[in-house]
Structure 1
């Protein structure tokens, strides 16, 4: 095995570092500059220094905190629902999929559809006046809820997101479940452990890293949700379905407040970075 010298290692890393500095570092510096500047589309090339005014405008904006609260609730609820359903399906369908793995393909179909298209599809299906679901509910039961109004839109969005992304969690959990060595299960069965005991004390602990990773990935994706929410309900009545991504989009493109939008995105980045650092520190402490 060839061992690289430090100088050679730095030489091979140079193209990667240059790529990151050019395509990630430069936009990051520009964003930081714009976040402390009074800048709009008209003054994009000549921004004026504004200090912390943009950050203060963001943290004093009630709509920003409403968007933070929506994103937190949405990310947590969808991650919990997707992981719970995915784990149940992975355990329940394991015998069937072991014999017929080709059945995995139709279960993955929701992942093949773009989230924006999913939002448009459900917007048509659940539309209060033109949608088939409200029509038949009204026809058969005499009443139908307004799925997309301010009272029900959040629950509708959680269900739509869960239906689309549960297959992702299911796929991860299925792979982790079938990767458990069969002799471990056989040894536990010979010791008299029931199926429930094997699940609780053997299978779930072995799947725990995958469960944690899937939950974390789905929470991040739910927290930064934009496309399917925007196409299904937009910002919602009174901003009831405004996520942080939608808030930043509206501040940037609709208000033209570029500095404010970038300041909000940097605050979101800092919060995500602190969360990652905290999880990393917790993981290192647990490993130690």
Structure 2
């Protein structure tokens, strides 16, 4: 009986390593579709764009481009688009600051004060994103038009002169950036604030801390991961945006995205456009790394 039991148990024991081996490869198989997607639609185009940034700038689509490793394209691109680069970061920084001023109280109210209206307010925040980015920006063009109600009101109360205007000004571009990217800031903030342990606020109140002190010592530090994530999700696309500057601004308010768009689609200067794109990504990467390091936040929602 002992011998027969040992013989019968052998096949089952030998099957276990094969099953464990299959489980070991399962996570890699699950990662395979996403990895292929990134290779085909992200790393592949990035390599192509990087190669284009080093083409001989003397070439053209008609004569072809030679790969001459022309690193001088980066110097030329940054020098020629220097004002637009600085303007892009400046506009994005102002819009991000305005977004925090508007978005933090909104996220705080939704997460901690809205009660049963919480989900309705969340839908109100997200609902504009169901509409095309272009349509939303065109709506702001109507709101800020010279004959619109807003400009008329500002003229009546003396904030704008008789010929004052908002459209085709830096103010219009910054307002457009703030409106279009505000949900990207509010949602991470809401997620961070919603996880806040209310008992900490109650304990602070029991210890006679004022609401302002409770906010500075408890709410703000605990919501920093959401604030950092939200400002990054707001700032990064705002720097590279060109639709708001195109529709709400004028040639003197164009951002670096407008220069890149013109290089690829108007002037057909691929080396210049590719080099400027990579320079922009590099500058944004440096700013993001410094920001994350200085924020001292280990967890980003």
* TM-score, structure 1 normalization: 0.79
Give, in angstroms, the shift of residue 94 of structure 1.
5.3
What is the alpha-carbon distance in structure 1 between the residues aligned to residue 117 and residue 26 of structure 2?
Answer: 50
**Count of paired positions:** 274
Q: Could you say what secondary structure the match of 2:254 adopts?
A: coil
Q: Does 1:71 align with 2:83?
A: no
Pair 1:31-2:54 in alignment: no
Q: What's the offset of the Cα at 1:184?
A: 1.4
CA contact (8 A) 1:90 1:171 kept: yes
Q: Which has the higher contact order (CA 8 A, sep 6+)?
A: 1
Shift of 1:144: 4.2
Cα distance change on mapping 1:8 and 1:109 into 2, 3 Å: closer
Which residue in 2 is equivalent to 1:41? 61
Q: Post-superposition shift, 1:206?
A: 0.9
Q: Specify the alignment match of 2:16 in structure 1.
A: none
Alpha-carbon distance in 2 for matches of 1:70, 1:89: 28
Contact 1:111 1:165 in 2 (8 A): no
Give me the whole-angstrom Cα distance separating, in 2, the residues matched to 1:244 and 1:192.
51
Question: Aligned-pair distance for 1:180?
Answer: 1.3
Which of 209, 216, 221 is the equivalent residue of 2:232? 216
Match of 1:175 among 175, 183, 191: 191
Distance (Å, rounded) in 1 between the aligned partners of 2:154 and 2:291: 46
Provide Cα deviations, 1:187-220, integer angstroms capped at 9, x if missing partner: 2222222222211111111111111111121111
| Structure 2 CA distance for aligned equivalents of residues 280 and 212 of structure 1 | 8
CA-atom RMSD in angstroms: 3.2
Instruction: Please state if 1:228 is matched with 2:244.
Output: yes
| 1:85-127 superposed Cα distances (whole Å, 9 cap, x missing partner) | 1112233565651132243133443333333212212223333
Equivalent position to 2:208, from 181, 192, 196: 192
> Structure 2 unaligned runs (5+)?
1-19
Q: Return closer, same or farther for 1:208/1:20 CA change in 2, 3 Å cut-off.
A: closer
Contact 1:108 1:168 in 2 (8 A): no
Post-superposition shift, 1:24?
2.8
Structure 2 counterpart SS, 1:81? helix
Q: Which residue of 1 aligns with 2:74?
A: 55
Q: Secondary structure at the match of 1:90?
A: helix
Residue 111 of structure 1 contacts residue 168 of structure 1 at CA under 8 Å; is this kept in 2?
A: no
How far apart are the structure 1 equivalents of 2:113 and 2:134?
Answer: 32
User: TM-score w.r.t. structure 2 length?
Assistant: 0.76
1:162 aligns with 178
Deviation of 1:73 (Å): 0.7
- Tell me, yes or no, if structure 1 residue 201 matches structure 2 residue 204: no
C-alpha spacing 1:251/1:202, structure 2 compared with 1 (3 Å):
same
Query: Unaligned 5+ residue runs, structure 1?
Result: none
CA contact (8 A) 1:87 1:170 kept: yes
The alpha-carbon distance between structure 1 residues 109 and 6, as it changes in their structure 2 partners (threshold 3 A), is: closer
